[in-house]
Amino acid sequence: MAGKTLYDKLWETHVVREESDGTCLLYIDRHLMHEVTSPQAFEGLRLAHRKAWRNTSIVAVPDHNTPTNHWDRDIEDPVSKAQVDTLDANIKEFGALVYFPFKHENQGIIHVIAPENGATLPGMTVVCGDSHTATHGAFAALAHGIGTSEVEHVLATQTLVQKKSKSMQIKIEGQLGAGVTAKDVALAIIGKIGTAGGTGYCIEFAGSAIKGLSMEGRMTVCNLAIEAGARAGIIAADETTVAYLKGRPHAPKGADWDNAVEYWKTLHSDADAQFDTVIEMKAESIEPQVTWGTSPEQVLAVGGKVPNPANEADPVKRAGVERALQYMGLQADMPITDIQIDKVFIGSCTNSRIEDLRAAAVVAKGKKVAGNVKLALVVPGSGIVKRQAEAEGLDKIFTEAGFEWREPGCSMCLAMNADRLSPGERCASTSNRNFEGRQGPGGRTHLVSPAMAAAAAIAGHFVDVRTQQ
């Protein structure tokens, strides 16, 4: 019999019951929440006179609507404020293990605060009404984004109705070049398999290049699994995982810690495990990436040229390229490095952790943001990240270079707060989606790594960060 994949192990240890058609009830260990996708779920519970099954599974924080400056003015948009107040009231009524309200010193993006507080642990099932829940798979946890009806279902039953996905292994062997980051790895994968390449799969990222990443880097890779279509991305637990978790507030303590670490050592795919699909890439072949279109799969190495729709045989794809070029205001065949930018956003659940800010600061140090760049924002992922960065003097590096140093939150990744692009504005962004209107109606988003975003801010256009260091 073939060995088990990590996904098999995580799945099998959480199946409460299985129906004859393969539909399973999967037990959920950790329920993450933010203000946007939870109010209707709590309302549903209330209407049915139900309680939360296990409120100590809940970790919650408002992050999408919260402003990143002028906290003294509170939340000025009354609709945003009502949503944040609703989360406050719901947590007060139903309870939670961890809740950081707006302005709490540890508040931040849910996918940043759960790991940094040790609330995401290997072997867990993790859900959140947010597609970037895939992030937590970096800890060998099975982490799914879910809809609001499912949020209500998990609140009421501590389970999720699921069928097992197929398994895919993406194996990246070798050493990443200088200036090539986890973000570039993830974008290169999406460029290769497409935004639907992982649909119906749980993707395990493996190989020496993945093992060589920090936990921050692994979170970036798993975060973007959803942009490849996979509801979950996972990475085996190892000594890097254990070292990251040791001493975090909600990580196990004492004998529990020792027992947990022993168990976590088993959370990897067996050597003879079989995957439904295996994809291999060489780390050395990956270059800094820049998206040019309106889907994360429309991505190129920074040395590339914007595609020409005339070269696309498939009519639906050709129309897609034409539409993307028109929306993005780009000419076919122009070099990526000729694209001038108006704004820069360094932040989001993809790239707002301390390592991301350090990488951007290295590039920005002693330089100035180019004159054509109207706004360059740095938005740390949490209060903890912010304080750490300030202790290291990164905030000074950014502000002296002309970046704005903001308070934590989701910010301009999806522009639910005041941070957004105006129509036609072009942004170098470390976030995760370059969809039409994502960062503001008519806004044009190019996804890049933090180092590439900082380099673009300084140059005023995209530039190969490897030539700047």
Site for another protein in 136-165 (CB under 8 A): 145-150, 152-153, 156-159, 161, 163, 165
Q: How many residues bind another protein (CB under 8 A)?
A: 82
Among residues 4, 32, 37, 94, the one that binds another protein under rule CB under 8 A: 37
Nearest distance, CB of residue 366 and another protein, angstroms: 37
- From the number of C-beta atoms within 10 Å of its C-beta (0-12, 13-18, 19+), residue 361 rates as buried
Nearer to another protein among residue 116 and residue 419 (C-beta): 419
Q: Please give the residues from 7 up to 26 whose contact with another protein meets the rule CB under 8 A.
A: 13-14, 16-17, 19-23, 25
Q: Is 192 in the site for another protein (CB under 8 A)?
A: no
In the bound state with another protein, the residue whose beta carbon lies nearer, of 22 and 366, is 22
| Per-residue binding letters, 417-446, with another protein (x by CB under 8 A) | ----------------x-xxxx--x-----
If binding is defined by CB under 8 A, does position 178 make contact with another protein?
A: no
Per CB under 8 A, 247 contacts another protein: no
Q: How far is the CB of 227 from another protein (least distance, A)?
A: 8
Name which position in 92, 104, 317, 374 contacts another protein (CB under 8 A). Answer: 317
Question: Near another protein by CB under 8 A, which window of 257-265, 357-365, 371-379, 389-397?
Answer: 257-265
> How many residues appear in the chain?
469
Under the criterion CB under 8 A, does residue 68 sit at the interface with another protein?
A: no
- Cβ atoms 155, 31 nearer than 8 A: yes
Among 2, 3, 40, 93, binds another protein (CB under 8 A): 40
Q: Does 46 bind another protein (CB under 8 A)?
A: no
| N-term to C-term CA, the chain | 51
- Smallest separation (angstroms) from another protein to the CB of 425: 15
Considering the complex, state which of residue 257 and residue 277 has its C-beta at the smaller distance from another protein: 257
User: Which of 200, 247, 335, 393 contacts another protein by CB under 8 A?
Assistant: 200
